[in-house]
Amino acid sequence: MTRPPRPRRIGFVPDVTYFKPAGIPLRFMEEVCVSMEEVEALRLKDLGGLDQEASAVKMNISRPTFQRVLASARQKIADALLNGKAIRIEGGNFEIAALRLRCVNGHEWNLPPEATANTPLQLCPTCNTPNIVNYHNPQLVQAHRGRHRRGRYNREITGDLELE
C-alpha cells in the first residue's frame, strides 16, 4: 500500500479562478484544469522570482517534487494559451498557511486564512493597537484537501487556530 501524498503548502488563494479567450463562446472550447498547488508553484517561481529550492521549502515539498509541479503547471498554461482553451483553477491536495501576527507591544495571535479574505487587519485583539506586523510561523497551517470538481473543498482544520 502506498503512502498518501502530503499536502502542499500554499500562501495565496486567487480570487479569480476561471479564464477564457475573449470572443469564443464557452460551449465551443475545451478546458484545462490547473490545481491550486500548481498555481502556487507558478506564483513563487515565476512571479516571485524565488529559486526552486526556496520555493520548495515554502511549499513544504522536495525540490524534485516542486520541479514536477511547476513543469505540469507550465505545460497546462502553455496548452491553454496556444490552443485557445479555458483555464479553470481548482482542487488539489494543499494546505493554506495560517497568518501569525504580532503587534508592536509584543502580543501574538493566529489569524485563520478565511479571516484574512473577509476583513482587513485593523487592531490587536489584546491591546487594540493598530500597529500590526506579520510574524510568520510555518508550524501553524490549516489543511484543505480539494478533491472535488468546480472548486469545492473538503475542509479539515489541523490544530487550534482561534484568536488567542
27-37 CB burial, b ≥16 within 10 A, e <16: eeeeebebbbb
Residue 55 has pLDDT above 90, yes or no: yes
Please write the tens of the pLDDT for every residue from 25-50. 888 899 999 999 999 999 999 999 99
Q: What is the pLDDT confidence band of residue 118, given thresholds at 50, 70 and 90?
A: low
Residue 62 has pLDDT above 70, yes or no: yes
pLDDT of 115 reads 61
Dist. CA 126–CA 107, nearest whole Å: 7
* Higher-confidence position of 164 and 29: 29
Residue 162 CB neighbours (<10 A): 10
Residue 146 CB neighbours (<10 A): 19
117 with 13: CB under 8 angstroms?
yes
pLDDT of 107 reads 81
Segments making up each domain of the chain, as ranges? 1-91
